[in-house]
Amino acid sequence: MYVLGIDYGTGGGKVALVDASATVVGYAFQEYPIFTDLPGWSEHDPNAYWDLACTLIPKVLQQAGISADEVKALAVSSAMPSLVMVDTGGEPVARAYNLMDRRATAEVEWLRSTIGDERIFEISKNRLDDHPMIVNLLWEKRNRPEVFARVHKALSIDGFITAKFTGKFTGHYSGAGFYGVAYDLVNRKFDSGILATIGLSESLFPDLYRCEQIVGHVTEQASRACSLAIGTPVCAGQVDCNAGWSGAGAIEAGDIQMNLGTCGNFGIIHDKPVFHDSMIAFNYTTDSEHTYITVPTTTTGGHLIRYLRDNYFKLEAEQQTAQGKDVYDLINQEAATVPAGSEGLVILPYMMGERTPIWDVYARGVVFGLSLHHTRGHLVRAMMESVAYALYDSFSLIRETGIDIHTPIVLNEGGAKSELWRRIITDVFDCPTVMVENRVGAPYGDALLAGIAIGMYKDFSVAKEKATYVGRMEPDSKLHALYMDYFKLYKELYGHVKQDFRTLAELAKRYATT
């Protein structure tokens, strides 16, 4: 017996095949393009999501040497917020929004004046920002009414893929919080009064389920496309970070794990409905009706290093690929020659705006202190340090609330494999860290969820039993003091240019339309 997990991130997707002993027997990854045609826009071609599933599923079946009918269930996760708008036939009516899209600034101001920040936080337990899916729907309604008129359901990426498998439009409690604005997080339903006020029908949203509930089965049409057996059970799914963290053993209140994927984030599990007004909150997979997770996020975490790879290491990437090597190893080697503090180079990593804790859609990247002796290795290290500062900014606020936080911090997906980056995180946070040894990430957690859904595994304790943590690091007090000096400057720099970001956005908008 086997179970399958599929995860869709901002930069690509992964598939994992797992056996009855919770061991990975097949794994595949594939990137897809990110479209940033206009300032603040960030989109995917939604057809690439299904193409990826249909390409990678046969690959992992072949790796394991098994037939399709040996796969007994599957689950899908995706990075959030995301938005795939589909028609009555389940076909996309436009490109999909991914979590870096920041276009809906006017809609945020309209909601602020129409509903108010306090009411929205009271219901959603999240602050008003342009990232919730409802805000994006309002943008479509106001700016592309011809597209909005065709929208039958507003789905997440994983909801779209689940619909491709089953023919049913569904969602899950762990991801529903990312609809925002009118979604009542604690009571797990949409507020009809707010929806009526903002002019959206509740029929736009899918039915919601516990993460492990079976919501449908693979159809004959999907079977032909993706090589799974007709009738294979599909469960509701989960947010990708929940998938990665639960799969790596974060199953109890107080557990903390960190990802350095396309965005950088960490999550702290809690079983009390207590929420911080500058953080992101949603339901956690292990008990998606009663358990929550607080997740600070920096928008372009690991994507900063991908940006450097694509723009400063292009030739090396081609050479390394031809030799069967990973260009990220070379990138890390160059950064490792640079001392802590990057010899006076400080970066604000807000290349697509920023979320916690500053929530500034207008913010953009700043390279401060650049001089002739700085190399691209300095840029890499300074980028890594900037992500650590951005996440520490939120961590320090959460720690002040007295919330229970278990240490060491467990580093999981993406850039966490970089020993240098883990060292930086350890010293900036002044906390011990470890790394997950089995770093399959979110698709592994999805596979475990599918196995729990059909009773292959007893419960989520299987994840804790299988998790192994390696590479423990202890913080260096001297380096922490150095980083705190630079962190203070990092904070002051943002304060100095905060208003300038708005001026820059106005200039860019003015001259983009002339």
Ordered domains of the chain (ranges, CATH): 2-248+438-470 (3.30.420.40), 303-435+476-512 (3.30.420.40)
Q: Which residues contact 245 (CB under 8 A, 6 or more apart)?
A: 255, 257, 259, 267, 293, 412, 445
Looking at residue 400, its pLDDT comes to 87
pTM assigned to the model: 0.90
Looking at residue 280, its pLDDT comes to 93
Helix (H) or strand (E) holding 195: helix 192-198
DSSP string covering 331-359: HHHHHHTSPTTTTT-EEE--BTBB-TTT-
Looking at residue 514, its pLDDT comes to 52
Looking at residue 442, its pLDDT comes to 93
Q: Is the dihedral of CA 359, 365, 371, 374 positive or negative?
A: positive
Q: How far apart, in whole angstroms, are the C-alpha atoms of residue 280 and residue 275?
A: 8
What are 38-89's pLDDT values in tens digits?
988 999 999 999 999 999 999 999 999 999 999 999 999 999 999 999 999 9
DSSP 375: -
Of the candidates 384, 397, 464, the one whose C-alpha atom is nearest the C-alpha of residue 426 is: 384
Looking at residue 428, its pLDDT comes to 98
Helix (H) or strand (E) holding 245: helix 240-247
DSSP 69: G
Whether 6 contacts 74, CB under 8 Å: yes
Helix (H) or strand (E) holding 505: helix 477-512
DSSP 373: T
What are 127-183's pLDDT values in tens digits?
998 778 999 999 999 999 999 999 999 999 999 999 999 999 999 999 999 999 999
Looking at residue 438, its pLDDT comes to 82
Looking at residue 440, its pLDDT comes to 87
Looking at residue 418, its pLDDT comes to 95
Question: How many other CB atoms are found less than 10 A from the CB of residue 341?
Answer: 17
Please give the backbone phi and psi of residue 9, each rounded to the nearest 5 degrees, phi first: -95, -170
Residue segments in the chain with a per-residue pLDDT below the cut of 50 = none
DSSP 229: P
Q: How far apart, in whole angstroms, are the C-alpha atoms of residue 474 and residue 447?
A: 33
Q: How far apart are the first and last CA of the chain?
A: 61
